[in-house]
Amino acid sequence: MNVVVCTKQIPDPANPGQLSPDTHTLVREGKLILDDSDAYGVELGLQLVEAAGGEVMLVSMAPHAEVSGLRTALAMGAAKAILVSDEALVGSDALSTAKVLAAAIRRTDPDLIIAATESTDGYTGTLPVQLAQLLDLPSVTFAKRLSVADGKVRADRQTESGYDEVESPLPAVVTVTAGVVEPRYPSFKGIMSAKNKPIEQLSLADLGIDPSAVGWAGARQEVVSVVSAEARTGGEIVVDDGDAHERIVAFLEQLKVI
Amino acid sequence: MDRIWVVVDRAGERVAPLSLELLTKSKDLADQVEGVTWGDGAQLAAEAGSYGAALLHTVGDLGGRLPGPAVAAAMAARIEAGDAPDAVLVPHNYDGRDIAGRLSALIDRPVLTNVVGLTDADGLRTQHPVFGGSEILTARFTGDGPGIYVVRTKSFAAEDSGGAAADVDVWAVPQLGAADAVRVVDRHVEEREGPKLDEAAVVVSGGRGLGQADAYRMIEELAKLLGGAAGASRAIVDAGWVPYSHQVGQTGKTVKPTVYIAAGISGATQHMVGMKGANNIIAINKDQEAPIFSIADLGVVGDVNKVLPKLIEALRARS
């Protein structure tokens, strides 16, 4: 079976984020890394193809042909990648991004498309289901466990009160929560071989997408302003020397929760 | 504004609290508030009405399908037929996000998610916390067509305004395409003692500082002793120690309890955005420089594995 994993390359979340003063959007300059949230989907895809045969293909979008995050996923074991890259994509909202990824995925023939529930940087969290609708595919979201057999995917889907066992025919789009599997670390051999794995770069023209329908030109939402939130300040600090719990008990009493 | 549709999520045979919050807010914003739900509409009509809905549309029995495709397709069909509201408000939860994503693609309108505030100033403007809630971003839709707003829990208070029961009608569901084939084959309700995470007056959350998965038992025990709910940082959810449903933060749940206890959590912006609305914050962490202390009302610099057992023992002795 062939698995497409939607992968996002993001600025390292360990560094403080910045908004562009002009556009109020996230500054995405410098080296991009594989979004941690996507490592679970890559791992799951690898486990599925290791059991059933086939390969994992990455599909990603980035405005300036960045590939460093894709190389990480290739080093884990993905076979190849499609990267849609075009200056006109800067400023795209989630729906535009879904349209671009849908066009790229239509060139492949996946049995399963895996995505994270949301990205770590933008965390809009709607793209996978938009993608499913655009491709006229079923979707199973928030899967915390997943298996594939007999042309069907079966998943434990998170609910407010527990989980549902949900079944869908393939092909389908699934989103996976963190912790669904334990992502592997790329081996040295994996890292070396990733350098030679194919990354097909496509432009909007290659996909037949009108540049005015995406990016800033096609955005139908805008940031009006950004202001500092009311700051919350720290209070009392106690260094534990064996009886700090007593201070906590006293505080809870004061708040009348005990 | 004339008319708002609110997705009315169910919690068993009642309206889910988050949908009550959205109905209440919509009543402030629009002349006419209409709920959109699934299953037996009559069951929810009185409650939806008393929180502001004049009408309650239901797509009827789902026959084991998930709500997302059916509810989105029914709304899209009405909108395409010229019966569009000014805005569609959707709960930021599992089914709500499915509905918003499907609807967005069907009517070709983007979505604003993680909304925590809504104001009407020549059209709706939304507030979103960014960078761990240190900044508030205001956004709006441009272009024609209804805006789709996915709103986080506890953004607005739910208030019963004593309205009459909503009039219920049934909306036809058009062809769903491939999505029609998805079925829920079994439901599992996880036995939970105490309140839900996003409704609890006390939330005790654990993080990487616990050292190992087993130590999370102390978090559950402490939460139980305080009549609260147990939460977690993303780090230990990612590590597989606890399920995603416990996650507090940007990619998890937003909580606003009376007391929030962060045990072994350093305070990544991702976490803080989900809990800094708590009335009181107690933090326990080994690292005096941990960002969590900058927002804690009481900060204990110490090892959670030493402080928590004593705290649990002291609380047990009282009960």
Whether B3-181 shares its CATH topology with B202-318 is answered yes
pLDDT confidence tier of residue A121, bands split at 50, 70 and 90:
confident
Q: Do B237 and A237 touch (CB under 8 A)?
A: no
List chain B residues with CB under 8 Å of A19: 130, 135, 137
**Percent of chain A beyond pLDDT 70?**
99
pLDDT above 80: residue A240: yes
Q: Do B110 and A252 touch (CB under 8 A)?
A: no
Joined together, the tokens standing for residue A152 give 């069907």
Domain ranges of chain B: 3-181, 202-318
B3 touches chain A (CB under 8 A): no
* pLDDT tens sequence across B131-148: 878 889 999 999 999 999
Q: Tell whether domain A3-218 is in CATH 3.40.50.620.
A: yes
Where helices occur in B86-143 by DSSP H, the ranges are 94-107
Closest CA to B7 of B121, B80, B102: B102
Q: Which tops the pLDDT comparison, A24 or B244?
A: B244
* Average pLDDT estimate for A223-227: 92
What is the pLDDT, as a whole number, of residue B132?
A: 76
pLDDT above 90: residue A20: no
What is the pLDDT, as a whole number, of residue A161?
A: 82
pLDDT above 90: residue B269: no
Angle (deg, nearest 10), helices B94-107 and B67-80: 30
* Average pLDDT estimate for B292-315: 97
Q: Do A221 and B112 touch (CB under 8 A)?
A: yes
What is the pLDDT, as a whole number, of residue B274?
A: 93
pLDDT confidence tier of residue A94, bands split at 50, 70 and 90:
very high
pLDDT confidence tier of residue A3, bands split at 50, 70 and 90:
very high
Q: A190 vs chain B: nearest CA distance in angstroms? A: 23
Phi, psi (degrees; rounded to nearest 5) at A129:
-75, -35
What is the pLDDT, as a whole number, of residue A26?
A: 74
CATH class of B202-318: alpha beta
* Average pLDDT estimate for A56-82: 96
What is the pLDDT, as a whole number, of residue A44?
A: 97
CA distance A81 to A74: 8
Buried b (16+ CB within 10 A) or exposed e, B219-249: bbbbbbbbebbbbbbbbbbbbebbbbbbbbb
Q: Do B139 and A157 touch (CB under 8 A)?
A: no
The average confidence (pLDDT) of chain A is: 94
What is the pLDDT, as a whole number, of residue A24?
A: 76
pLDDT above 80: residue B299: yes
Cα dist from B126 to B28, B114, B150, whole Å: 15, 9, 10
pLDDT above 90: residue B93: yes
Architecture of domain B3-181: 3-Layer(aba) Sandwich (3.40)
Residue pair A185/A62 in contact by the 8 Å Cβ criterion: no
Closest CA to A175 of A211, A205, A144: A144
pLDDT above 90: residue B301: yes
What is the pLDDT, as a whole number, of residue B206?
A: 98
What is the pLDDT, as a whole number, of residue A30?
A: 76
SS3 state of residue B156: coil
List chain B residues with CB under 8 Å of A138: 178-182
What is the pLDDT, as a whole number, of residue B141?
A: 96
Q: A152 vs chain B: nearest CA distance in angstroms? A: 10
Q: Do B134 and A239 touch (CB under 8 A)?
A: no
Joined together, the tokens standing for residue A141 give 């979201």
What is the pLDDT, as a whole number, of residue B110?
A: 96
pLDDT confidence tier of residue A236, bands split at 50, 70 and 90:
very high
Domain ranges of chain A: 3-218
What is the pLDDT, as a whole number, of residue B122?
A: 87
What is the pLDDT, as a whole number, of residue A122?
A: 84
Instruction: Compute the count of residue pairs across chains A and B with CB atoms less than 8 Å apart.
Output: 277
CB atoms within 10 A of CB A222: 16
Model ipTM value: 0.93
* pLDDT tens sequence across A124-163: 999 999 999 999 999 999 999 999 999 999 999 999 888 9
Q: Which tops the pLDDT comparison, A17 or A32?
A: A32
Q: A200 vs chain B: nearest CA distance in angstroms? A: 27
Cα dist from B194 to B90, B199, B304, B309, whole Å: 27, 10, 23, 21
* pLDDT tens sequence across B145-173: 999 999 999 899 999 999 999 999 999 99
